[in-house]
Amino acid sequence: MDNNKNALPKRSDISPEFKWKLEDIYPSNDLWEQDFKKVKELAVKLSDFKGHLGDSPEKLVECLELHNLLISINDKVFVYARMRKDEDNTEPVYQAMTDRAMALSTEAYAAISFITPEIISIPEDTLKKFMDQNGSLKTYRFFIDEIIRQKSHILSEREEEILALSAEVAHAPHDIFSAFNNADIKFPFIKDETGEEVEVTKGRYVKFLESHDRRVRQDAFQALYSSYGAQHNTLASMLNNNVKKNRFYASVRKYDSALQSSLDDDNIPVNVYDNLIDTINKNLNLLHRYLKLRKKALKLDELHMYDLYVPIIEMPKKEIPYKEALETVEKGLMPMGDEYIGYLKNAFNSGWLDVYETVGKTSGAYSWGTFKTHPYVLLNYQGTINDVFTIAHEMGHALHSFYTNKTQPFIYSEYKIFVAEVASTVNESLLMRYMLEKTKDKKEKAYLLNHYLEEFRGTVFRQTMFAEFEKIIHANVEQGYALTAQSLSDIYKGLNEKYYGCETVIDDHIKLEWSRIPHFYTSFYVYKYATGFSAATALSQQILKEGKPAVDRYINFLKGGGSDYPLELLKKAGVDLSDPKPVQDGLNVFEETLAELEELV
């Protein structure tokens, strides 16, 4: 089968213009080794400050600046190794470098673990005096205030060191799943629309589900889930242990639940999470109405789970060339202004993006990078309209990082995930508006409206279902129940019946979907897609209606990084997510779009 022309290409077969330039981080592995050693040296040097942070404001500043240097170089070492591994997960050199980088990170974070408990031990009045006496400390005011806010959940110096040392072991469920999901799992070949044998991959799976040949959709669906199903007990053990890890850390840090622990890092009240689930559950009738329209448009007696992604309006079969996709994204984001577009164009031409799917390459898409270098974007471009929106999405992340790193000191360069999905989705919303306005063709307009509704279904309804699943399985473990392959599948199937069952046949294979979702190993992450989409809907409408004033507010939000709490940064940009209203407003936009499509279909 390896000689099949539809098998994945190797990385060496891809032109350099379609690969990211990781040499911008390290021109050689030897330079990486030098920084690897430097991290170890700085970790030793940092230990000299133990017990002395309360001596003087100068000592405290010196320690925090050394902390920044240590962690920024450590991040650079880790990101480079991991991104090299992501190019080809079967490459042993970068497997080894990633393992070493992870071990080094454990050492680095163990080395800094004394800082927070020691700052806590300094009386608050003394800290205030320190900040008044030393101008350099004013930079760290929010950082220090945040430590004081979380004081009741921070442990002793020795306990913090033990927790830092446990990080590598605690990461095992994620690492094992990643190795399985990106390197080991193989899917069978199926016949495509022309009857030709084509290997199913995670990248091609999405394309197969968009096929107008229902047999191809069903075959791909069964091929994928039968492969995961064959390993369902092992995969259940991985997820179960990840949930137990979360329970452990929440418990030792004196939180009531893993959910509360996770949200507290962003200073997000639990009711924001609960409000999202409640608001979506109250509006499931809109999802059911959309599914009813989908069934009607596809002329199906029954709508199955593998029928959910095919565009309900058949467009001329065409693959969108990558260069055309870049031009479309650029035009769609013009309302963001000349400066933003200038940075975008530079990114497209300067080795920020890794474009095509190759053997062993990590699936999906992401934006990543380091404080000391420009951001990077991993793609698995297949030429679909979804891929065009993925470029806009990931460039939202990348330019958020770019603006933050350009404006903030290292200590505030890592913005919270809660706000990250806003930046990506604003770009998608602007691109959608541009494409809808550009088209004069009713059929194309209907296609795009369907695409927007699908984005909404996938980002708001689907991710909220994921969030509800995470809440249930963590609550079960916290109440002493075991998570088995059977119980996970039962919970997951029940949620699908609630969200989709009114208008959809819940195929038995869908109960296994939990076993292939990487985000379940970064727990309580996915709800941020739904809240982010809601905020982005509001912000993009402000940008289009108000122009420059809204753009300026938004760019300042991008520059904010981690210098304030996520809810506060968004309030300054023009959206208050502490209230259910933005989510409901977003659902109202969904209903308006649905009504528009109902008129055309």
**What are the structure tokens assigned to 435, written together?**
């494409």
Among the options 161, 168, 394, 428, which is catalytic?
A: 394
Which element (helix H / strand E) includes 346? Answer: helix 338-348
**What are the structure tokens assigned to 84, written together?**
């090299």
* Alpha carbon distance 357, 500 (integer Å): 31
* Alpha carbon distance 57, 41 (integer Å): 24
Assess whether 394 carries a catalytic annotation. Answer: yes
Are 533 and 396 a contacting pair, CB within 8 Å?
no
* Alpha carbon distance 588, 39 (integer Å): 51
**Strand boundaries in 35-194, DSSP class E:** 189-191
Are 383 and 319 a contacting pair, CB within 8 Å?
yes
**What are the structure tokens assigned to 412, written together?**
């505030």
* Alpha carbon distance 56, 35 (integer Å): 30
The SS3 call for residue 189 is strand
* Alpha carbon distance 515, 382 (integer Å): 24
β-partners of residue 304 are 505
The SS3 call for residue 320 is coil
- Which residue's structure tokens are 């009813």? 292
- Which residue's structure tokens are 């016949």? 191
φ, ψ at 367 (rounded to 5°): -115, 140
* Alpha carbon distance 483, 473 (integer Å): 7
* Alpha carbon distance 44, 346 (integer Å): 40
* Alpha carbon distance 291, 293 (integer Å): 5
Are 477 and 251 a contacting pair, CB within 8 Å?
no
- The phi-psi region of residue 547 (left if phi > 0; otherwise alpha if psi is between -120 and 50; otherwise beta) is left
Convert 350-367 to b/e letters by CB count within 10 Å (16 or more is b).
ebbbbbbbbbbbbbbbeb
Q: Report the candidate in 358, 433, 270 with the shortest Cα–Cα distance to residue 89.
A: 358
Are 128 and 103 a contacting pair, CB within 8 Å?
no
- The phi-psi region of residue 565 (left if phi > 0; otherwise alpha if psi is between -120 and 50; otherwise beta) is beta
Q: Which residues are catalytic?
A: 394
